[in-house]
A and B are shown apart, each in its own frame.
Chain A
Amino acid sequence: MAEGNGALAEQFDDLAQQHEAASLGMWIFLVTEILFFGGLFAGYTVYRATYPEAFHEASHHLDLLLGGINTAVLITSSLTMALAVHSAQEGRRRALTVFLLLTLVMGAVFLGIKGTEYAHKYEEDLVPGIRFAYSGPHPGQVQLFLIFYFVMTGLHALHLTVGIGLLGVLAYLAWRGHFSPRYYAPVETSGLYWHFVDIVWIFLLPLLYLLGTHR
Chain B
Amino acid sequence: MMPPIVLRRVYYWVYGALLALTLLTIGVAYLDLGPLNVAVALGIAIGKALLVMLFFMHLRYSSRLTWVIAGAGVIWLAHLLIFTLSDYFTRGWLPVAGW
A contact residues vs B (CB 8 Å cutoff): 15-16, 19-20, 23-24, 27-28, 30-31, 34-35, 38-39, 41-42, 45-46, 49-50, 64, 68, 71-72, 75-76, 78-79, 81-83, 86, 89-90, 181-182, 188, 191-192, 195-196, 198-199, 202-203, 205-207, 210, 213-215
Contacts and interface: CB of A to CB of B under 8 A. Distances in A.
A213 B19 CA distance: 19
Interface in B76-98: 76-77, 80-81, 84-85, 88-89
Interface in B12-70: 12, 14-15, 18-19, 22, 25-26, 29-32, 37, 41-42, 44-45, 48-49, 52-53, 55-58, 62-63, 65-66, 69-70
B73 A213 contact: no
Contacts of B30: 213-214
B80 A81 contact: no
Given A78-B56, A79-B11, A214-B32, A23 B48 contact: no
Contacts of B19: 72, 75
Given A68-B22, A79-B15, A81-B56, A34 B77 contact: yes
B1 A215 contact: no
Contact of A214 (B22, B31, B63, B66): B31
B72 A31 contact: yes
B25 A210 contact: yes
A28 B57 contact: no
B11 A182 contact: no
B80 A78 contact: no
B41 A23 contact: no
Main secondary structure of the interface of B (DSSP, over half): helix
15 contacts: A20-B63, A27-B73, A31-B70, A38-B81, A39-B80, A42-B84, A49-B89, A76-B15, A86-B11, A191-B57, A198-B52, A206-B42, A210-B25, A214-B31, A214-B37
B49 A45 contact: no
A89 B2 contact: yes
A34 B57 CA distance: 15
Contacts of B15: 75-76, 78-79
A38 B79 CA distance: 10
Contact of B45 (A86, A181, A206): A206
A38 B77 contact: yes
Given A78-B56, A214-B32, A90 B80 contact: no
A49 B29 CA distance: 18
Given A75-B18, A214-B29, A206 B41 contact: yes
A109 B88 CA distance: 39
Q: Which of A68, A82, A90 has the most CB of B within 10 A?
A: A82
Given A202-B48, A205-B45, A206-B45, A45 B5 contact: no
A35 B63 CA distance: 23
Contact of A30 (B73, B81, B88): B73
Contacts of A35: 73, 76-77, 80
